[in-house]
């Protein structure tokens, strides 16, 4: 419980201009999916936020097991991959406690995660359903405005990008970006050869998520 209270206290005193050398968390999960799919994305997102939002995020992310108590040390956790993700009952309880206690989970489907994400997050919050966030939601209107919702980074099935949320007691605790490949847009340019304008939009949306978490979701 001490870790939980420490997280809450930390979140209450943080702001986008004051937090220093906080690491973004990368969720390590079981099931065979490639949680490590975008090795340069969080590094680049941190650098972009430091440049554009005057944050002081650490350059290196922290890799955090979903069932570990260490998760409570990180107010923002990012999960990605292309395939199967599985939570044990103990891991689901740990993740729920983390999110109830003030933590935030961003899930970015790198293509192929959707069915598993929905099944496994039901273990975490059986009583909740993912809802599509309206384009008026504050997460789209931080420093950067996205009046039409998420930017599209990669085409797969031709579907429009969707931003879904889990709302616990009125608070957005999980933001799920689908058919978007947001994290691919954060990667080093030579990884996917995305045009500069696509990478910029992806990083701007990522910065909005970070800003929302630290300034508007406490």
Domain count across the chain: 1
Greatest alpha-carbon pair distance for the chain in Å reads 47
Q: What is the mean pLDDT of residues 174-195?
A: 90
Q: What angle do CA 151, 154, 158 make, to 5 degrees?
A: 90
Indicate if the pLDDT at residue 169 is higher than 50: yes
Q: What is the mean pLDDT of residues 78-93?
A: 96
Under 8 Å between Cβ of 177 and 206: no
Indicate if the pLDDT at residue 4 is higher than 90: no
CA distances in angstroms from 101 to 15, 19, 75, 113, listed in the order given: 18, 19, 10, 26
Please write the tens of the pLDDT for every residue from 6-51.
444 444 334 444 445 799 999 999 999 999 999 999 999 999 999 9
Residue 101 maps to which CATH number? 3.40.50.12140
pLDDT given for residue 216 in this prediction: 67
pTM over 0.75: yes
Q: What is the mean pLDDT of residues 144-159?
A: 89
Under 8 Å between Cβ of 208 and 140: yes
Q: What is the mean pLDDT of residues 148-163?
A: 88
Token pair of 70 as six digits: 């260490």
Q: Give the structural domain span for 79.
A: 2-216
Contacts of 107 (CB under 8 A, 6+ apart): 78, 79, 80, 113, 117, 121, 174, 175, 176, 177
Among the residues of 111-180, which ranges form H helices? 114-124
């Amino acid at each position: 419980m001490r870790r939980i209270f420490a997280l809450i206290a930390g979140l209450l005193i943080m702001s986008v201009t004051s937090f220093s050398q906080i690491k973004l968390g990368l969720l390590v999960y079981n099931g065979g999916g490639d949680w490590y799919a975008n090795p340069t994305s969080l590094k680049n997102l941190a650098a972009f936020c430091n440049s554009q939002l005057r944050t002081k995020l650490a350059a290196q992310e922290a890799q955090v097991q979903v069932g570990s108590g260490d998760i409570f040390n990180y107010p923002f956790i990012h999960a990605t991959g292309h395939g199967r993700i599985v939570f044990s009952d103990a891991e689901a309880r740990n993740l729920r406690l983390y999110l109830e206690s003030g933590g935030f989970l961003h899930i970015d489907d790198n293509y192929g995660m959707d069915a598993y994400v929905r099944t496994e997050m039901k273990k975490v919050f059986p009583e909740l359903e993912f809802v599509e966030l309206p384009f008026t939601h504050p997460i789209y209107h931080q420093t950067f405005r996205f009046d039409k919702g998420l930017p599209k980074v990669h085409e797969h099935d031709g579907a429009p990008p969707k931003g879904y949320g889990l709302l616990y007691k009125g608070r957005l605790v999980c933001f799920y970006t689908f058919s978007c490949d947001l994290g691919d847009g954060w990667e080093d340019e030579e990884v996917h050869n995305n045009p500069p304008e696509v990478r910029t939009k992806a990083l701007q949306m990522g910065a909005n998520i970070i800003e929302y978490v630290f300034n508007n979701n406490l």
